Structure formats: C-alpha cells, structure tokens
Amino acid sequence: MPAQYTHTARTQAALGSYTLCLIDFQEVAGISYAVFWFLLLILALILFFAVPPRLRRSRRARLFAEPFPQSYVEILERNVPLYRNMPPELQRQLRGRINVFLNEKSFVGCGGFEITDEVKVTIAAHACFLILNRDTNYFPGFSTVLVYPDTYLVDEVVYDGEVATEGQDARSGESWHLGPVILSWQDVQESLADNSYGYNVVMHEFAHKLDEENGDVDGVPALAENSHYREWSDVLARAYGAAGDAGASCENQVLDEYAYTAPEEFFAVATETFFEKPSRMKEQLPELYGQLSRFYCVDPAAWGSS
C-alpha cells in the first residue's frame, strides 16, 4: 500500500506538471489545444498534397531538359514517320516528353520478348504525340507497358444471351483500366510501316488511357474547358451515328470500321486517324478533326506530307 500510494502521488504530481505545461503553452500560443492540433492537421494535409506535386513538377522539368541521346534521335528518324514531318519546336518538345515517359514507365517483355532501346523509344514516342502542347500528368494511374513479340492469345468467355462459350481471342494490344498497357511488337511495327494506313496500336491504347483519366472509359476524355463538353459530345455523336448509318465499311470511309463498335473505340480509332491520316480526316470529317485538334492542341494536317 505505501508503495502504491507513493506511486499514485508521483503520477498525480507528474500529471499536474504536464497540465501546467499545457496551460503555459496555451497562454504562450494564445490558442486552445484543440485549435492547435486542428491547425497542425491542416498544415500536414497541405504538405501532403502540395509538396509531392511540386517535387514531381520540378523532377519532370529536369528530365524534360536532359540531353536526348543521339541513338534515340536515330530511332525516331527511323521508326516514327510523324517525327520527321513535325515542326522543330514540337520535335524538341516530343523528345523532352519521351525523357519523362521513359523515366516514369517501365517496360516488361513477355513471351520471351527482349526490351531494347528501340522498343522503348518507339512506343514512348507514339504515346507522347498525345500529350504535346498542353498540361499533362503523363498517363497517371499506371506504370507498366507489357510487350509481346506478336499477337497474343487471351482466354475469354463469350455469352450470347443463352450460352457461354469458352475460347481464345488473339489481340494486338489492350489497355487495362488503371492497369498496364499491353502491346504486340509485331503490330507496333505494322503501325510504322506505312503512316497513311491509319493503324497505330500504340496511339489507340494510349487514347484509352487518356479516356480513363476522368473516370469511365466512354469516349469523353478530360477536356480543357467545361464549355467544350457539349460540342465534343454533339460532334462525336453525329460522326459516330452518321457514318454508321452511311455504312462504316464503305471504302471511302476514313475511319476504320472498328470505330463504330463503341463510343470509346470511336475516340481511340479517331485518334489514330487524326495523327496518321490528318489531311483525309480534315477533308471528310472537318468537325471531328476540329474537336481532336482542340483536344490534342496540334494540327498534324499542317505538318507536311500526310
């Protein structure tokens, strides 16, 4: 008992001292204890949300300005026909964007495929055409690009309303929501072979990545101004519906018929066409070209041969 009594007395003394300290602090600071911790929490939140973006911006600015290896320039000139046609200022900007992209995204070879500088620079370049001349967060929410040597098989179940059938689907590329981009290198190379063909699997899958930045993958990416959404929806809905009515498989149709399978595919295929066949698209679908030009902040029809 004596020992316990002593212990209790010392504890009370310590608490009394602690309370006095708090009272002293309250007097010095001139604010209540609760307000102090509230302000500390606000400061912590500000630091948590404000500092990382500032650090990221400065890191990206440093990467953007870093020298671009001559061997990478040779890859661009060899593999990226659009690069040769674009204005020098945009070429410089594209090289800076590629520097950042290569720093932030990792590449993984699948099915025995070996990732080389040629693979990385070629894919990064085509992705970065989609983020020129505007604020960008470099395709946030994912970090890995998986590359197969050729088309790859994916197990799938097709349900026709009554019967579910298991099978395999051969794919050239896909974009998982908030997950990796998957590409077939053989198909990437086919995209490069003839830029008037209009097929570009890298731009297609990264257009889906832009589309998912504001939530649903629905063919409506995050536009620069709120006032742009109405016009975007009107023009794309008109092009999607009108071309489908006229027969999407028509030989003169500038967009691949796959565009008419869903609004999100329409946006992705239109993106490919906007960069790969800009003059034809501007001539046949000027309203759609105008919307994409405003969204992507470039005018590839003015870049030279297209």
Rounded least distance, CB 208 to Zn ion, Å: 6
In the complex, least distance from residue 268 CB atom to Zn ion, rounded to whole angstroms: 5
Near Zn ion by CB under 5 A: residue from 210, 268, 281, 292: 268
181 binds Zn ion (CB under 5 A): no
Q: Does 217 bind Zn ion (CB under 5 A)?
A: no
Please answer whether residues 248 and 285 qualify as being in contact, where contact means their C-beta atoms are separated by less than 8 angstroms. Answer: no
Identify which range of 11-19, 138-146, 160-168, 263-271 contacts Zn ion by CB under 5 A.
263-271
* 76 touching Zn ion, by CB under 5 A: no
Residue positions counted in the chain = 306
User: With respect to Zn ion, which residue has the nearer C-beta, 192 or 270?
Assistant: 270
Residue (93 or 205) nearer to Zn ion, CB: 205
Give the x-and-dash track for 2-41 against Zn ion (CB under 5 A).
----------------------------------------
* Least distance to Zn ion, CB of residue 166, Å: 23
Count residues near Zn ion (CB under 5 A).
2
The answer to whether residue 210 forms part of the interface with Zn ion (CB under 5 A) is no
Tokens for 296?
């992507």
Asked whether the CA dihedral 295, 82, 137, 95 is positive or negative, the reply is negative
Q: Does 255 bind Zn ion (CB under 5 A)?
A: no
* Residue 157, beta-bridge partner list: 166
In sequence order, which residues have a C-beta less than 8 Å from that of residue 192 and are 6 or more positions away? 79, 80, 81, 122
Decide if residue 183 touches Zn ion (CB under 5 A). Answer: no
Q: Are 266 and 288 in contact (CB under 8 A)?
A: no
Nearer to Zn ion, 90 or 188 (CB): 188
Closer CB to Zn ion, residue 187 or residue 265? 265
Nearer to Zn ion, 102 or 174 (CB): 174
What is the rounded CA–CA span in Å between residue 274 and residue 198?
Answer: 8
Residue closest to Zn ion when measured from CB atoms: 268
Query: What are the CA-CA distances from residue 183 to residues 17, 175, 193, 197 (Å)?
Result: 67, 9, 16, 19
Q: Which of 34-42, 225-233, 264-272, 281-289 is the region at the interface with Zn ion (rule: CB under 5 A)?
A: 264-272
Q: Which residues pair with 167 in a beta bridge?
A: 156
CA distance 48 to 33: 22
Cα separation, 203 vs 273, in Å, equals: 10
**192 contacts Zn ion (rule: CB under 5 A):** no
Q: Which is nearer to Zn ion, 76 or 181 (CB)?
A: 181
Q: Least CB distance from residue 266 to Zn ion, whole Å?
A: 10
**236 near Zn ion (CB under 5 A):** no
Of 103-111, 149-157, 237-245, 261-269, which segment contacts Zn ion by CB under 5 A? 261-269
Nearer to Zn ion, 84 or 171 (CB): 171
Q: CA 96, CA 64: separation in Å to the nearest integer? A: 4
- What order of strands is seen across the sheet that includes strand 173-175? 106-109, 144-148, 181-184, 173-175
Report in angstroms the alpha-carbon separations of 172 from 148, 149, 176, 185, 202. 9, 10, 14, 8, 10
Residues that bind Zn ion (CB under 5 A): 265, 268
